[in-house]
Structure 1
Amino acid sequence: MSKSRALTTWPLRIATGAFIINSGMEKLGADAETAAQTHGFASAAYPFLADVPAEEFNKALAIAETVIGAALLIPGVPARVAGTGLTAFAAGLVGLYLRAPGLRQEGSLRPTPDGIAIAKDGWLLGAGVSLVAFDRYRRKHR
């Protein structure tokens, strides 16, 4: 594979990986109040999470984000692997946006002012799907 083809996904991987790893690192240092807020927000969208203690949930989320961010930034991790992790994580965020009350205007996908921060995470889903699709295309056309 040519060097230019090998570098094709790196701008996308660096941008998303740095963003996600930063988010994960911030959550690792979160205090109990911040962990409770994050957990409460996630539990409103995904009720099965209500039984998980807030600090455990926050720690697991922080580790997951850090691992996904690292996978995106490590050159040896194939695009399909990093993209699959990113897609799964981003699908959870999009689900959060669609399920949590008060994030969307009634009867619409348009965000409320409170929903803008979550709505824009849809770009992560697009990035993950793009990485997986690129890898499939590249493998098919070798």
Structure 2
Amino acid sequence: MSLSNAILRGVTGAFVLNSGLSKRGMPTEAAQGLQGFAATGVPAVNQMNPDTFGKFVAYSEIGIGATLLTPVVPRRIAGAALGVFSAGLLAMYFRNPEMTESDGIRPSQEGMSLAKDAFMAAIAGALVVDNS
């Protein structure tokens, strides 16, 4: 693994893993709020039980973070996992009019927390296409 890949995977993996760990055991009300927001980007999540959805999100983030942090996982697989994850987050960003300015691209104040997920999409792309 190259140093640049280790940096991309290490920092991003630690961030995503921590996010997933913090969501374990989230209360039903918190899971419902997260689910409602997630449904703006991926409407099918509304069909899940809120507690099941909360566990799904937590353990998905833990799995993606661990995948990025595990050196024996090929960078393309780790990048693809991160790419799918960041695509879901960006879908919420672009499909929620409150997240963007009137042009539908630039983030509003409310959208800043999701707009940064474009960096994860870029990191995923770098991991998938790098030839080192």
- State the TM-score, normalizing by the size of structure 2: 0.94
- Cα separation, 2, equivalents of 1:67 and 1:42: 19
Whether 2:76 is the aligned partner of 1:80: answer yes
TM-fit CA distance, 1:17: 0.1
Q: Cα deviation per residue 1:48-68 (whole Å; 9 max; x = unaligned)?
A: 221111111111111111001
Which stretch shows the higher mean deviation, 123-132 or 40-49? 40-49
Distance 2:42 2:68 in 1: 26
Name the SS of the counterpart of 1:45 in structure 2. Answer: coil
Structure 1 gap ranges (5+): none
Aligned CA-pair RMSD: 1.3
Decide which moves more: 105-114 or 73-82: 105-114
Which residue matches 2:96?
Answer: 100
* Percent identity of paired positions between Structure 1 and Structure 2: 37
Structure 1 CA distance for aligned equivalents of residues 44 and 2 of structure 2: 41
Match of 1:9 among 5, 15, 18: 5
Q: SS of the counterpart of 1:102?
A: helix
AA in 2 matched with 1:111:
P
For normalisation by structure 1, the TM-score amounts to: 0.87
Of 8, 23, 28 in structure 1, the residue corresponding to residue 24 of structure 2 is 28
Q: Decide which of 100, 113, 117 is 2:113's aligned counterpart.
A: 117
Segments of structure 2 that go 5 or more residues without pairing to the other structure are: none
Deviates more, 1:49-58 or 1:10-19: 49-58
- For this pair of structures, how many residues does the alignment match? 132
